[in-house]
Amino acid sequence: MTIIIDHPFHHHTSTRTGNPGLHFSFIAIIDETYSKEPVFSRKEIMQKPVLRSDIQPVTTLVNGRRMITFHDPYQLTDKKIAIDMHLLPLLQLLDGRHDLRDIQMGLMKRQDGRIVYLSEIESLIEQLDQACILNSESFQRKMYRLRAEFISSENRLPVHAGKSYMSEPEALSRFIQNVENNLKPLNAENIQDSITGILAPHIDINIAGSTYVDTYRHLKGKHYDLVIILGVNHQNQDGLYSVSEKNYITPFGEIQTDRTFTTELKRKMPEGALSSDDFGHKTEHSIEFQTIFLQYFLKGPFEMAPILCGSVHEFIFRRKNLFADHRFLEMVHGMETLIRESKSRVLIVAGVDLSHVGLKFGDSLPASSILPRARSNDRTILSMLAKDEPEKILHHAIETQDQYHICGLPAILLLARLLRKNRADIIQFETYDEQATQSAVNYASMIFSASP
């Protein structure tokens, strides 16, 4: 069910009040079970409403009109909302510092003193809260229950199955096989015997299916005891890393987590290195997408160690050296020690994307104006990675101040340190150009192998 809120800034008769002012036109079909009652009291709603920081506003076309919708990573409700682009000024005032009177006055100033009725603003705030767009008490209660449920679970479910890839194992196998059949056959001489690492995308599989398959088919028939998967947490994370002990469920079955490895790794970590829990794994796709290709191409069962990397912007923007930070150093040392002591056959995978440019990602220019520089920037990073120069990658990120929004840098840096002195071959470098939003994402894949 979707509620579409029409452009309100017209001086006409409101269908709700019978008075000229702010007008919301609900033109979608609304489920009969939808409650018009506020989720919590009107008094609570009045207390300086604030938008959630973990939802992504997305510009889209609805019936030919530019609208704002919201991507909720937790899908807390089936009530969806689409807001006319002209309501953007109102959304910008939902920052927790303005009450409804402030919002009313702000909107009136923006439309040359035209009357904006407080009751209409209240109505919109209620609708936003029912759609779980606001950081309200109602939202926080739902999140508390969701977090508690996930933390107590032994398994992590495939939340993106049926959306980013097929949920039925037979259909998923056919999809992967069909993609592989359309690729050029691999030259046996180009397949390394001792593959130690994979750099793969985490962009939607529907977009980059050929890149995933072209990369992971190098593993066909190979066996590993442990696969360490480095993902990127797209939500805020306390601590540099989040290590989960949950088993990952996929359409192909269960991948058990090596709890000996993960428990001992967590024990070795200093204060501040780890997140307080593993809730970030619940909806994060950067690890999930890797699991299905690993299961499809690898021979025999394997255990995994899922590790989400948090933001390193504190180091980039403050020009600090991540490689001198004790939390990073202890993570590298802990992983290297456990890998060495296990005497197992280990593969390290990083699910990363590169530049994100254009209007969708906060740039003032369309992607077409930025892409040449962004692609050059990403090729520089890949070249440094292939040449075993992690320090140069970090220095480059600091110098450019992450102006191209690299979504994967934390995992790239950790992977680069763990796979030092390994051979690296770039498999693909591609761009997804989303014309509708004038935005683009670069992504690539690499194979690492033990040097002779």
> Per-residue pLDDT tens for 388-428?
999 999 999 999 999 999 999 999 999 999 999 999 999 99
CB 160 within 8 A of CB 373: no
Q: What is the pLDDT of residue 224?
A: 97
CB 129 within 8 A of CB 136: yes
Q: What is the pLDDT of residue 33?
A: 31
CB 67 within 8 A of CB 85: yes
Q: Specify the domain boundaries for CATH 3.40.830.10 within the chain.
A: 155-450
CB 234 within 8 A of CB 204: no
Q: What is the pLDDT of residue 40?
A: 45
CB 306 within 8 A of CB 281: yes
**What's the whole-number mean pLDDT along residues 150-162?**
96
CB 107 within 8 A of CB 125: no
Q: What is the pLDDT of residue 436?
A: 84
Q: Residue 356 pairs with which residues in a beta bridge?
A: 441
Q: What is the pLDDT of residue 3?
A: 52
Distance in angstroms between the alpha carbons of the first and the last residue of the chain: 58
Spatial separation of the C-alpha atoms in residues 169 and 175, rounded to whole Å: 10
H or E segment and range at residue 424: strand 422-434
Q: What is the pLDDT of residue 26?
A: 29
H or E segment and range at residue 251: none
**What's the whole-number mean pLDDT along residues 316-333?**
97
Spatial separation of the C-alpha atoms in residues 108 and 46, rounded to whole Å: 18
Q: Is the confidence at residue 262, as pLDDT, over 50?
A: yes
List % helix, strand, coil for the chain (3-state, nearest 5): 40, 20, 40
Q: Is the confidence at residue 16, as pLDDT, over 60?
A: no
Task: Name the pLDDT band for 251 (thresholds 50, 70, 90).
Answer: very high
- If one looks up domain 2-143 in CATH, what number appears? 3.90.930
Least confident of 9-13, 170-174, 345-349: 9-13
- If one looks up domain 155-450 in CATH, what number appears? 3.40.830.10
User: Residue 359 has what DSSP assignment?
Assistant: G
**What's the whole-number mean pLDDT along residues 303-311?**
97
**Main-chain dihedrals φ then ψ at residue 50, nearest 5 degrees:** -140, 135
Q: Is the confidence at residue 34, as pLDDT, over 60?
A: no
Tell me the pLDDT tens digit for each residue of 338-395: 999 988 899 999 999 999 999 888 899 999 999 999 999 999 999 999 999 999 999 9
Q: Specify the domain boundaries for CATH 3.90.930 within the chain.
A: 2-143
Task: Name the pLDDT band for 84 (thresholds 50, 70, 90).
Answer: confident
- Greater confidence (165 vs 29) lies with 165
SS3 46: coil
Spatial separation of the C-alpha atoms in residues 388 and 400, rounded to whole Å: 20
SS3 22: coil
SS3 401: coil
**Main-chain dihedrals φ then ψ at residue 346, nearest 5 degrees:** -120, 135
**What's the whole-number mean pLDDT along residues 237-256?**
96
Spatial separation of the C-alpha atoms in residues 103 and 118, rounded to whole Å: 9
Least confident of 4-18, 208-222, 264-278, 364-378: 4-18
- Greater confidence (304 vs 71) lies with 304
H or E segment and range at residue 175: helix 169-181
Q: Is the confidence at residue 317, as pLDDT, over 50?
A: yes
Q: What is the pLDDT of residue 43?
A: 55
Compute CA distances 275 → 89, 257, 307, 320, whole Å. Answer: 35, 18, 11, 21
Strands (E), 201-358: 226-232, 241-243, 247-250, 253-255, 303-309, 346-351, 356-358
